[in-house]
Amino acid sequence: MKSYPYPPFPSQPQSTPGSQQAMDPYPDCGEQTYKGSGRLQGKIALVTGGDSGIGRAVAIAFAREGADVAVAYLDEHEDAQETARWVELAGRQCLLLPGDLSQKRQCRELVTRTVEHFGHIDVLVNNAAYQMTHESLEDISDEEWVRTFDINITAIFRICQAAVPHMPSGSSIINTSSINSDAPKPTLLPYATTKGAIANFTAGLAQLLGPKGIRVNSVAPGPIWTPLIVSTMPPEEVKHFGQQTPLGRPGQPVEVAPLYVLLASDESSYVSGSRYGVTGGKPIL
Ligand code: NAD
Ligand code: MG
């Protein structure tokens, strides 16, 4: 069994959206370890936030399972190119799609470009998100609230609406929620609220899309070591990140990816409308 890093972690403040290249320890996205076995052979996947963190681990795992991957991200070009390098080393195609998902046009554009390039979409992973720490209610500006909702939940609605006409029966949508969806951290109020909305949206959409043969599930990670953390949390929280979990450490992105592979694959053909935790032992009920 491979061992993963435990806190304390070095101080490493970054501005949002953060760079994976600059992190210490470097997040493990399965670059050296993930082994595929053809579980997504020939599928086409679109992964938002696929440049870094959980999204990169998902992109690498999907490619090694035989999928071509379109990767959407904000503007972290170096991180995105590193993801593309690993996808291509796995012998699959990677289409990079930078742009701001708070913009309605970008949500549609992303789907159009993926379909122009690959023809259709079998797996849609809505994983991009924004968060920021606010110590008090007064600290949260109206613009911040609206932008968090635009990126984290409205974009998911828009991307799903644009993508579904291009998703054949048997396709899978996977939305990244969070342990915050039912255990909200008060200093992440806008973010946690969107994560509750994602879990609820997922359960509703699964019922709407069932007759089309499209499955929809959400994943609720606990603390995972990614750029999102070092670019939005206070240094003291970063230092002890993940220590409060029963496993005593944060998860690495590679430890989350296998669940996305399962939910994307035909093996989970009767799994829809559910939420799955990857929390290092913190209960989600
Ligand atoms: P990450 O920073 O590696 O990934 C988030 C990505 O979202 C970024 O790479 C960025 O390109 C993208 N993004 C942000 N704003 C955007 C915008 N306006 N337009 C387009 N793309 C934008 O961090 P991560 O932790 O891997 O996050 C992936 C998902 O996991 C998120 O939904 C996050 O909420 C969720 N999550 C993370 C944790 C954790 O502890 N890291 C815990 C629970 C849930
Ligand atoms: Mg990133």
CATH number at residue 124: 3.40.50.720
Ligand nearest to the CA of 278: 1
**31 inside domain:** no
**17 inside domain:** no
Atom 8 of ligand 1, nearest CA residue = 49
Pocket residues for ligand 1 (CB within 6 Å)? 17-18, 49, 51-55, 73-74, 76, 100-102, 127-130, 151, 176, 178, 221, 223-224, 226-229
Tens of pLDDT, residue by residue over 117-162, are 999 999 999 999 999 999 999 999 999 999 999 999 999 999 999 9
Q: Say which residues have a Cβ less than 8 Å from residue 103's Cβ, sequence separation at least 6.
A: none
Tens of pLDDT, residue by residue over 162-212, are 999 999 999 999 999 999 999 999 999 999 999 999 999 999 999 999 999
Tens of pLDDT, residue by residue over 208-264, are 999 999 999 999 999 999 999 999 999 999 999 999 999 999 999 999 999 999 999
Q: Percent of the chain beyond pLDDT 70? A: 100
**3 inside domain:** no
Task: Give how many domains the chain has, as a whole number.
Answer: 1
For residue 146, give both structure tokens. Answer: 């609206």
> Ligand 1: distance of its center to the CA of 18 in Å?
10
Residues 34, 73, 130, 191: which is the catalytic one? 191
Atom 44 of ligand 1, nearest CA residue = 178
Residue written as tokens 């670059």?
31
Ligand nearest to the CA of 155: 1
**20 inside domain:** no
Quick check: bond before 8 cis, omega within 30? yes
pLDDT at 2: 82
Question: Does the pLDDT at position 93 exceed 90?
Answer: yes
Question: Does the pLDDT at position 285 exceed 90?
Answer: no
Q: Which of 54, 108, 245, 276 to mutate to test the pocket of ligand 1 (most atoms within 8 A of CB)?
A: 54
**234 inside domain:** yes
Question: How far apart are the C-alpha atoms of 273 and 165, rounded to whole Å?
Answer: 19
> Ligand 2: distance of its center to the CA of 113 in Å?
20
Q: Which atom of ligand 1 is nearest to the CA of 241?
A: 40
**284 inside domain:** no
pLDDT at 9: 98
Question: Does the pLDDT at position 1 exceed 90?
Answer: no
Q: Which atom of ligand 1 is nearest to the CA of 231?
A: 2
Question: Does the pLDDT at position 31 exceed 90?
Answer: yes
Atom 22 of ligand 1, nearest CA residue = 74
> What predicted TM-score, i.e. pTM, was given to this entire model?
0.99
**160 inside domain:** yes
> Ligand 1: distance of its center to the CA of 128 in Å?
4
> What is the domain range of residue 127?
38-278
**54 inside domain:** yes
**Among this protein's residues, is 191 annotated catalytic?**
yes
The DSSP secondary structure of the chain, one letter per residue, reads: ------S--------TT--STT-SSPP--STTT----STTTT-EEEEETTTSHHHHHHHHHHHHTT-EEEEEESS-HHHHHHHHHHHHHTT--EEEEE--TTSHHHHHHHHHHHHHHHSS-SEEEE--------SSGGG--HHHHHHHHIIIIIHHHHHHHHHGGG--TT-EEEEE--GGGTS--GGGHHHHHHHHHHHHHHHHHHHHHGGGT-EEEEEEE-SB-SHHHHTTS-HHHHHTTTTTSTTSSPBPGGGTHHHHHHHHSGGGTT--S-EEEE-TT----
